[in-house]
A and B are shown apart, each in its own frame.
Chain A
Amino acid sequence: MQAFEKLVRQYERQVFRIAQHIVQNREDAEDVVQDAFLKAFEKLDQFQGNSKFYTWLVRIAVNEALMRLRKRRTGRMVSIDEDVATEEGSMPRDLADWSPDPESMYGQSEMADILRKTIQGLPPGFRVVFVLRDVEGLSTEETAESLGLSIPAVKSRLLRARLQLRERLARYFKKRDSRSSQDGAK
């Protein structure tokens, strides 16, 4: 029990962040974290040891989070494949450079709001791949294992998630640019 408690301490922050990114609601994320660790504890004897404990735990947490989303959407099926057939973001459209550096234009909390709003607009199947690979730093192989996806599927979703986020952030930053130049023209 002590060893498991150590693992809870080690990974509770990461699992909470991943859960929040998927369910986008703090109460549901709290439930997901509790259920994921409880399920991991119950299934500990099934953990093979041929993958990292964290990868195995993330897989449980992602499944719990998707189940929670399904419950919230009154039983409508939510899967890791939802909305991934969209063509959005497969080819960059907004090709203006970001200058000045966006981080010099916004305060920390304002930027965090923009980033949250932007990533929340991605389909769950793209969002979770981006979060695991680019935010949490899992490898392509670990992400594939956590999500039960093939490596090519992870790579394809990651590219489109990155491009969609870039496109959406570009629109946001451009708005601010045009507002600033209007203000400047007054």
Chain B
Amino acid sequence: MTCTEFLAQLDDMLDQDVAIPLRADLQEHLRCCEHCEITLNTTRKTIQIYRSHELYELPDSLRERLHTAIMAKCRKC
């Protein structure tokens, strides 16, 4: 397996959506290719970091203001 072929399966690897026979080939490639192993690990980390940080929180005061405005507009419809 080449790095390009590995990369084509990267998303399925990350989403754990790889068919069993292919999984063995991918694992075999990872064993001998440090670059792909790093790409897999750091891409996995990228997703995990984004998932675990709330970048745009909606503060309660703003949430209440928005909620009131939405419902007032809907009632006018």
Contacts and interface: CB of A to CB of B under 8 A. Distances in A.
B47 A30 contact: no
Interface residues of B, number: 34
Contacts of A16: 56, 58, 63, 66
A40 B54 CA distance: 26
A111 B56 contact: no
Contact of B53 (A29, A96, A98, A111): A111
The contact size tier of chain A is 35 or more
A9 B67 CA distance: 8
Interface string B12-33: 0010000000000000000000
A42 B76 CA distance: 11
Contacts of B75: 1
B38 to A, nearest CB: 5
Given A17-B54, A34-B73, 17 more contacts: A9-B67, A12-B58, A12-B66, A21-B55, A21-B56, A29-B56, A33-B66, A41-B74, A91-B4, A98-B42, A98-B45, A102-B49, A112-B55, A130-B50, A162-B10, A162-B47, A169-B49
